[in-house]
Amino acid sequence: MATRGVRFLASDIWDAPDNGKKYEVIEGDLYVSPAPDWIHQEELSNLDFFVKSWVKAHRLGRIVNAPTGVILDDENGLEPDLIFIFHEHADIIRRRGVFGVPDLVVEVLSPSTEGRDRGLKLHRYAASGVPHYWILNTDGPRIEERVLGDDGYRLVGTFGPDEIFRPTIFPGLEIPLDEIAVPPPAPDPS
């Protein structure tokens, strides 16, 4: 849900209520999303395990998952699900969050955010110069890998069940998508 009519600053994300919701400012508009569901969080955690293990073992940089704010410019403060920054760009990391362009952002699709992750955020990350953008779709699961080019993001590929994801940003890393998948939890009570 976006709040229109009032222009927000990216730094307004630091003043958001501590209520479990995600607050982001994109092009000066405030977007509020509900807390992610169990599958979102568990599959993100599984992906994070593979990537973080690789990053740490090869001493490549710094990696965190949400909630961590990323201030891209005065009108864009976002909270990607996973953020990676090479050591040589670590000067953009501050105590409060990231003030600049990460080397990789990952968004995990939720029913309430899918349109924004594939549309508004994809375009904002590209316009800001984020070189690598992944979308994790928990239906499957599937990972879409995009790499920034002269005309925006180029889709490198979509990787799903029974496949191995070999991200271009981390040569040699292999992520079996079946090991990201989780069994569905019991249905919510009525």
Query: 27-47 pLDDT, tens per residue?
Result: 999 999 988 889 999 999 999
pLDDT at 111: 83
Residue 99 has pLDDT above 80, yes or no: yes
Query: 108-145 pLDDT, tens per residue?
Result: 998 888 899 999 999 999 999 999 999 999 988 899 99
pLDDT at 112: 82
pLDDT at 18: 86
pLDDT at 183: 84
pLDDT at 59: 97
Can you name the residues that pair with 146 across neighbouring β-strands? Answer: 133, 155
Better pLDDT: 22 or 102: 102
pLDDT at 66: 87
Band of pLDDT at residue 8, cut at 50, 70 and 90: very high
Mean pLDDT of the residues in the chain: 93
pLDDT at 184: 81
Band of pLDDT at residue 9, cut at 50, 70 and 90: very high
Structure tokens at 4: 């229109």
113, 43, 64, 53: CA torsion to nearest 10: -150
Band of pLDDT at residue 72, cut at 50, 70 and 90: very high
pLDDT at 4: 60
In the predicted model, what is the mean pLDDT of residues 46-72?
A: 96
Q: Please state which CATH number belongs to domain 37-179.
A: 3.90.1570.10
